[in-house]
Amino acid sequence: MNITANRLELLSAAQDAEKVAPAHSALDVLRCTCLSTENGKLTVASGNLELALERRIPAEIAEEGRVVIEAGLLSSMLRLMDSDSVTIEQKENHRATVTGGKTSYGIAVLDAADYPRLEIPFPEDTVSVTGIPAMAKRTVFAVAEEDNRPVMKCVHLIFSGDGLRAVGSDGFRIAAARGDSEATGSVDMLVPASSLEKLAQLIGNKDTLKVGTTGKNIVFLKEDFLFSARLMEGEYFDADQLMGRVKTVFTILTDTDLLKRALTSVYTLTGEQNRFSITFSGARLNMRCESEYGASEVGMDVVPLSGNPTGMYWYNPAKLLECLRAQSGTLMLELAQNGAIILRTDELVCLQMATREPKPIVIRQKEVKPKAEPKPKAEAKGKTKKKKDAALPAAA
């Protein structure tokens, strides 16, 4: 293989490949980027058996071929060069040179035949979608982390006549986000949250992608960019039906940023023991946090819309703060009969269950052991004998 390409274009593709390639893997080849020449262009590929990325860039191809280079190493070399173009030439005995301007690297490469490159088929039917990063931000945080519930580690993508929606849940809270209203269809799928998060790191919020499915995979593509993720099989709960059954006790109106800042200031006092509560009283909302370090409390004015805002309720402050960080603008806060709290904005609805009242804070003081009384020092035998001799009368 012998190719010459624009250094900045290759650096961009190599950095994307590095984001997808696993930093730690039992297979060394998976931590690499595969460079190959196809149809007069250079294809930069990486993957981890669950997802795959391909970027295609223009290149001058002196000799066809494939070369596999450690992903982080390739990005670092290209970043340190200051030339406009870079040449990569594969030598014998699994060696290659990367040259740009006055800089040249001689590196070891892996056998290209060992690279498990995933094929990315082109879907027959596709839908145009924008705003993937924003939608991922509003849902990925809410998915489960436990490996024993693989379905709950996914984001549920729903294409309907109203556009694209996404739902993430860990069984304790639900985050339902609106996506592109123009992305209409009649299909839903389960995409692993880690794969959707990787895709969000590779594209901009205004980028338009074509989306389609090919059997067990979902494919996102645009010009010279292909990203494929393996879909999860299983049944997902109906978030709309579940939220429709929630009976609201009262509703208030506030600002997301104000509520977020108030919760952040109270949350600074959390420790191993936490008691976090929200108290509603008319047009006033108070948050209080107690821990072994002390207590903090903050209040703010809100606008009551319906019902009579009263009572004290207990929540997990860390999870509640994650919901608020994914929202912005005017916030409608609803409280259900079972204490569940619903946070609504134009783009995202979060439902979080209340918790039981935590145990009282126990201040553990260090046990101070009394100091042992020092033992009397024994007098030296010689000194004792001298004292006795001094007490005898002198001889006549």
Q: Mark residue 339 as left, alpha or beta (left: phi above 0; alpha: psi -120 to 50; beta: remaining).
A: left
Q: Is the pLDDT of residue 392 over 50?
A: no
* Pair 289, 331 in one domain: yes
Tens-place pLDDT, residues 262-305 = 999 998 888 888 899 999 999 999 999 999 899 999 999 999 99
Tens-place pLDDT, residues 89-127 = 998 888 999 999 999 999 999 988 888 877 787 888 999
Of the candidates 179, 193, 176, 154, the one whose C-alpha atom is nearest the C-alpha of residue 350 is: 176
* Pair 105, 141 in one domain: no
Instruction: Find the helix packing angle between 71-80 and 7-20, rounded to 10°.
Output: 150
Q: Is the pLDDT of residue 375 over 90?
A: no
Of the residues 239, 261, 292, which one is the last residue of a structural domain? Answer: 239
* Pair 101, 26 in one domain: yes
Of the candidates 105, 51, 360, the one whose C-alpha atom is nearest the C-alpha of residue 230 is: 51
Q: Mark residue 248 as left, alpha or beta (left: phi above 0; alpha: psi -120 to 50; beta: remaining).
A: beta
CA distance 129 to 139: 17
Tens-place pLDDT, residues 33-79 = 999 998 889 999 999 888 999 999 999 999 999 999 999 999 999 99
* Pair 208, 287 in one domain: no
* Pair 282, 264 in one domain: yes
How many domains are contained in the chain?
Answer: 3
* Pair 135, 174 in one domain: yes
* Pair 132, 207 in one domain: yes
Task: Provide the CA 217 distance to its chain's centre, in angstroms.
Answer: 22
* Residue 233 within a domain: yes
Q: Is the pLDDT of residue 379 over 60?
A: no
CA distances from 142 to 69, 242, 338, 342 (A): 36, 16, 20, 14
pTM assigned to the model: 0.86
CA distance 40 to 56: 10
CA geometry: angle 69, 72, 78, nearest 5 deg: 80
* Residue 47 within a domain: yes
Q: Is the pLDDT of residue 380 over 90?
A: no
The CA dihedral of 322, 327, 331, 335, to the nearest 10 degrees, is -40
* Pair 144, 234 in one domain: yes
- pLDDT-derived band at 131 (thresholds 50, 70, 90) equals very high
Of the candidates 62, 97, 101, the one whose C-alpha atom is nearest the C-alpha of residue 85 is: 101
* Residue 172 within a domain: yes
Lowest mean pLDDT among 46-50, 130-134, 324-328: 46-50
Q: Which CATH number characterizes residue 194's domain?
A: 3.10.150.10
Q: Which domain holds residue 300?
A: 246-352
The residues pairing with 211 across neighbouring beta strands, listed in sequence order, are 127, 220
Tens-place pLDDT, residues 217-242 = 999 999 999 999 999 999 999 999 99
* Pair 196, 132 in one domain: yes
* Residue 266 within a domain: yes
* Residue 392 within a domain: no
CA distance 271 to 292: 7
Of the residues 211, 239, 267, which one is the last residue of a structural domain? Answer: 239
